[in-house]
Amino acid sequence: MVGFDPSPEITLPSLFDTTGVFRDQNDIVPFGLTAFGYTDASGAVSFDLEPGSYQVVVSRGTEYSSFEAPVMITAGVTTNVAAQIGRVIDTTGFVSSDFHVHGIASADSRVNQTDRVFQFAGEGVDNVVMTDHHVHTDLDPRIAALGFSPFLASTIGEEITTWDSGHYNAYPMTIDASRPSGGSTDWGKAAPPGMDFTAYGAYIATPSEVDALAAASATATPDTLVQINHIDSHFVPLEIDTSLVPPASAISAFAKERFRIDPTTGNLYHHFPALELWNGASRGHQSEFLDGRIGIWFNLLNQGLLTTFIADTDTHRYANLRSAGARTWTAASTDSPPSISDAEIAQSVLAGKATGGQGIYVQARLVANEDPGLVADLTLAGSTLVSITDAVAGVDLEIDVQAPAWAEYDRIEVYANAGTVADIAVPQLFTATPTVVLDAGVDFTVTSTNVFPAVPGATRLDASVSVSFASLAGDTWFVVVVRGRDGVSRPMFPIYPRDLDTGSNTTLADLIDGNLGEDGTMALGATNALYVDADGVPGFQAPLAP
């Protein structure tokens, strides 16, 4: 419900973090919304509102249209709204997952399993990977009990949470019913009672050892993999410079000891198959991705350290709607929740067959100009690498973008063996410079497609672009980023409601006027890398490979 609460809750001024003390203080509904609710499996929901004028908005995340209508609430009267929305984005061959989700089993979350099921089914996510801190959670029984099995599946994971070297996401996992944690990973290493201190030569697992521990766990599966979560909490404290060839950590022996890492350990860089580059739902989370993390990924690609980009939320709370955030689509044989395969999801992550977004769904493919039958794409049956013999003719990069009408976009950026720029203040973080920049209305056209004429507003914003890359100097990787820019495209409020400017939105009319140039969360999507082998040497030879 868009509008203003006639009698808002009192906020408590405090010099201290109220986390875990007052839920109504640390889990607040985003500005511009008075209330929200998620429907049951039949599509019904009810909640109370104070009398007044509001705008009711019904949505189901990136793949769906939205329903919007004014509503007047009268005291003592039940107001009924019948809404219809349509799935306007075609994601055939891909399944959406949130790879980083916390619930009541995590010490820093109080969201119960029922709320998590309602929430992610309502946000249109096909599969939720439960990654509680040091706990293995199986959400499937609760999904089934609530009747949501046709709409939502889950994967068992674990966030292996070290204090100093970062957080590591392991999935898919299983449950060890004999252990209270369900089978968590002991990154502290075994030591006699009272002897687990560095003074006694007891140290925690290094990053490479964490990876090995997860793979060797009794609760691991043949497809278990580990991704680094919110990667700056790993690369920055360990002082890992990914622009070095090979990447290396500069952390001193003293600092290693302080982190409870064996000070005689050498280079702490370890190559993980996936990196959580974008986690969250806000402008700030998007900025973290584009301004500090994307260049880390590109540094690795430039060295031939092929790594999969993951977008997700890292949600811990409920009312702040962080769950309405980034997600990743992986290549799959089906996106029907009862038939979703954990193994297939993991295999697609390992293969880099994935694309991420919030409001935007983008796909790309490389087509050889010497033979249109030579293709690289992100599909399950395809290959992310295309080999060509005519580097002069090169390849065409074909880009297809879809978004619901409420997620406007106006820029496409192509990165090809892109260079990176280190952050002056935090030199372990890197941004990147696009190789090609395309703007709507100049370089490409966004068309509106009426997907379901009988459903008001069930339209899609489509764009298809082909960019030629001829006279390739060598093997090349390609990544596509699509986004809406402030002042050019409207933010995605209220479907993705975070960060709307408060000063320019003081009335209901202000809130529903499109909010152009008034901050808010902008549409954003990015592909994983595609590769062209153009140098005559079999396989991908990265430009900076040692």
SS3 of 508, please? helix
- Nearest alpha carbon to residue 495 among 316, 327, 359, 357: 359
Within 8 A by CB and 6+ apart from 33, the residues are 1, 2, 3, 494, 497
- Nearest alpha carbon to residue 62 among 123, 129, 148, 152: 123
- What's at 365, amino acid-wise? R
Whether 124 and 62 have beta carbons less than 8 Å apart is answered as yes
Bond into 546 cis (ω within 30): no
Per-domain boundaries in the chain = 94-533
For 166, the token pair is 């970062």
**Residue 545 to residue 303: CA distance in whole angstroms:** 4
- Nearest alpha carbon to residue 27 among 327, 323, 358: 323
| Neighbour-count burial for 318-353, b at 16+ CB within 10 Å, e otherwise | bbbbbbbbbbbbbbbeebebeebbbebbbbbbebbb
**Residue 427 to residue 25: CA distance in whole angstroms:** 35
Within 8 A by CB and 6+ apart from 60, the residues are 85, 87, 122, 123, 124
**Residue 401 to residue 415: CA distance in whole angstroms:** 16
**Residue 99 to residue 480: CA distance in whole angstroms:** 21
Radius of gyration of the chain (CA): 24
For 449, the token pair is 């497609």
- Kindly report the pTM of this predicted structure: 0.96
**Residue 148 to residue 424: CA distance in whole angstroms:** 48
**Residue 105 to residue 90: CA distance in whole angstroms:** 35
Query: Bridge partners of 224?
Result: none
Within 8 A by CB and 6+ apart from 251, the residues are 237, 238, 239, 259, 268
The DSSP letter of residue 436 is E
Whether 493 and 463 have beta carbons less than 8 Å apart is answered as no
pLDDT at 179: 97
For 23, the token pair is 């839920």
Whether 417 and 302 have beta carbons less than 8 Å apart is answered as yes
**Residue 63 to residue 11: CA distance in whole angstroms:** 35
What are the pLDDT tens digits along the chain (546 aa)? 999 998 877 666 655 555 545 555 678 899 999 999 999 999 999 999 999 999 999 999 999 999 999 999 999 999 999 999 999 999 999 999 999 999 999 999 999 999 999 999 999 999 999 999 999 999 999 999 999 999 999 999 999 999 889 999 999 999 999 999 999 999 998 889 999 899 999 999 999 999 999 999 999 999 999 999 999 999 999 999 999 999 999 999 999 999 999 999 999 999 999 999 999 999 999 999 999 999 999 999 999 999 999 999 999 999 999 999 999 999 999 999 999 999 999 999 999 999 999 999 999 999 999 999 999 999 999 999 999 999 999 999 999 999 999 999 999 999 999 999 999 999 999 999 999 999 999 999 999 999 999 999 999 999 999 999 999 999 999 999 999 999 999 999 999 999 999 999 999 999 999 999 999 999 999 999 999 999 999 999 999 998
- Nearest alpha carbon to residue 67 among 81, 53, 79: 81
**Residue 321 to residue 136: CA distance in whole angstroms:** 23
Measured over the CA atoms of residue 228, residue 356, residue 26 and residue 139, the dihedral's sign is negative
pLDDT at 313: 98
- What's at 40, amino acid-wise? D
Residue 83: burial class (beta carbons within 10 Å; 0-12, 13-18, 19+): middle
- What's at 51, amino acid-wise? P
